[in-house]
Amino acid sequence: MSEQAQTARAHWSGRWAFFLVTVGSAVGLGNIWKFPYMTGSNGGSAFVLVYLCCILGIGVPLLMAESMLGRRGQGSPVGSMRVLADEAGATRLWQVIGYIGIVGAFLILSFYSVVAGWVLDYTWQAAEGFKALPKEAFAEAFGALLASPGRLIFWHTVFMAMSALVVLGGVTGGIERANKIMMPALFGILVFLVGYGAVAADLPAAWRFLFHFDPSAINRSVLFAAMGHAFFTLSLGMGAIITYGSYLERDVSIPRTGLAIAGADTLVALLAGLAIFSIVFAQGLEPAAGPGLILQTLPLAFSQMPGGHAVGLLFFVLVVFAAWTSAISLLEPGVSLLNERFDMGRKQAVVVLCSGVWLLGIAVALSFNDWSGFTLFGLGLFDFLDTLTTKIMMPLAGLLIALFAGWTMKRAHVFDEIRMGSRVFVLWYNVVRYLSPVAIVIIFLNVVGVIG
Ligand code: LEU
């Protein structure tokens, strides 16, 4: 790392800023698109219960570990790991954590942006107002979007341009500023939608569906789905948290902020679930509709409900904000690496990175239509990238992070960064040393089909 890059390292304006940007990264399509449909397809409350345990038992400890690595390393995910490996007297091969994260973030963004593009397309439709049509027409409309390379590529391009624009503004002038506007707005809209659910839809039914715990519905597939989702939703193992942590001042408490971030992320997922299922149940729709839940089911509801036009538009704006603040956190790790390694200015780094993601995203968009015959390991490009990143690369990076923080770093250095009461520290430390690695290995074995 050049000395200049090191001394010029930017910092968030305070703990509130770090909290907001990291919640911005964590709260995304994972919370509003994926969590509700996964809950819907995995037995409702059983999934919620396991998911909450995973967030608390694996997610929060790893989120704290990642923030710690970034703050102590003061570099990109790769640079930070090099500094920390040297400090611990360990091999520089640990830099692989940074590389997996950055490559993972690149690959994730290529399909995340295409999905965000669907949401932009629906936001446009919501602005015009969804027409009241029979149920099948909404499924057909979604199918028509997937079958249209032009529309998919257009909205993917718009979304990448929006994300690039924010990251170009820099750490405080771009990322922090965007989050300070969008996150409170997102929260406000969400609370309004839950209120709407209480007044105009069926909030009690949604509440029962999410919180009426029935432990007998917990099975192995619910368990694995919940664990994988805990990683995705907290943006773990993709370099984002290390990078955001590297801009964090030393006086901010990592445990306290980490807990608050995971709490806010979970709250948003649950509120989104309440808002969405209130509408789904009030309209007598199917909660287990799968990935199309918010795109096929909700527009049908919006076309029939009182005030559906305005509520529908607000809902899709909320999803756009969520996706946008997450996408920028996937760009920043790569930008910081290009800056550190190749002395590229922010502008050049953003252009190089975004062009690469954009090109791969075009291939992803085409995988739904013209190139649908092309498969890798039996999967279309979209599913292949999703599986590779969320089921393999992120847990692998998570495992290595737990091993590095728990076993390789000097305990005194870890303690120095985490700085919490010694009993709580010992608890956290043991979770990172034992529980997290074992849990992740179990997910892995399930994914490769050894068990499950
Ligand atoms: N945590 C984000 C979400 O829940 C995803 C991540 C890939 C940035 O959508």
pLDDT at 447: 67
Question: Using CA atoms, how far apart are residues 82 and 385, in angstroms rounded to an integer?
Answer: 27
- CA 24 to ligand 1 centroid distance, Å: 9
Residue among 109, 232, 265 to mutate when testing ligand 1 (max atoms within 8 A of CB) = 232
Helix, coil or strand: residue 170 = coil
Atom of ligand 1 nearest to the CA of 26: 1
Taking each helix axis from N to C end, the angle separating 45-54 and 220-233, rounded to the nearest 10 degrees, works out to: 50
How many A from CA of 386 to the centre of ligand 1? 12
Cα–ligand 1 centroid distance for 109 (angstroms): 10
* pLDDT of res. 125: 96
What ipTM does the predicted assembly reach? 0.97
pLDDT band for 5, please (50, 70, 90 cuts). very low
pLDDT at 175 (0 to 100): 96
- Per residue in 413-429, pLDDT tens? 999 999 887 888 999 99
Domains of the chain are 3-447 (1.20.1740)
H helices present in 134-253, as ranges: 135-146, 149-168, 177-200, 203-211, 220-233, 240-246
Single-letter amino acid, residue 130: F
pLDDT at 8: 58
Enumerate the β-bridge partners of residue 379: 376
Length, in residues, of the chain:
452
CA distances from 285 to 36, 150, 253, 266, 277 (A): 14, 31, 44, 25, 9
Residue with tokens 């602005």: 127
Q: What is the pLDDT of residues 287-333, one digit of tens each?
A: 887 777 889 888 988 998 889 999 999 999 999 999 999 999 999 99
Torsion over CA: 361, 21, 197, 48 (sign): positive
Q: At what angle do helices 15-26 and 308-342 cross, to 10 degrees?
A: 110
Give the SS3 label for residue 378. coil
141's tokens: 């409309």
**Long-range contacts formed by 185-190: CB under 8 A, 24+ apart:** 185/321, 186/27, 186/268, 186/318, 186/321, 186/322, 186/325, 187/268, 189/314, 189/315, 189/317, 189/318, 190/268, 190/271, 190/272, 190/275, 190/318
Measured in angstroms, how far is the CA atom of residue 28 from the centroid of ligand 1? 5
Tens of pLDDT, residues 345-378: 999 999 999 999 999 999 999 999 999 999 999 9
Instruction: Collect all residues with Cβ–Cβ distance below 8 Å to 15 and sequence separation of at least 6.
Output: 249, 252, 253, 257
pLDDT exceeds cutoff 70 at 450: no
Q: Which two tokens stand for residue 25?
A: 């990264």
Cβ within 8 Å of residue 398, ≥6 positions away: 62, 231, 236, 237, 436, 440
C-alpha separations of 411 from 84, 110, 429 in Å: 13, 38, 9
Per-residue pLDDT tens over the stretch 162-189: 999 999 999 999 999 999 999 999 999 9
pLDDT in tens, 85-126: 999 999 999 999 999 999 999 999 999 999 999 999 999 999
Q: Mean pLDDT throughout 201-206? A: 92
> Residues 97, 77: contact at Cβ < 8 Å?
yes
From CA 283, how far away is CA 273, in angstroms rounded?
Answer: 15
pLDDT at 4 over 50: no
pLDDT band at 6 (very low <50, low <70, confident <90, very high): very low
For ligand 1, residues with CB inside 6 Å are: 25-26, 28-31, 108, 112, 232-233, 235, 326, 329-330
Q: Which residue has the higher pLDDT, 404 or 293?
A: 404
- Yes or no: say if 237 and 231 are a contact pair by the CB < 8 Å rule: yes
Q: Which of 201, 178, 230, 283 is nearest to 50 (CA)?
A: 230
Ligand 1, pocket-test mutation among 29, 320, 388, most atoms within 8 A of CB: 29
Phi, psi of 368 (to 5 degrees): -85, -15
Centre of ligand 1 from the C-alpha of residue 200, in Å:
30
Taking CA atoms only, the protein residue closest to ligand 1 atom 8 is: 326
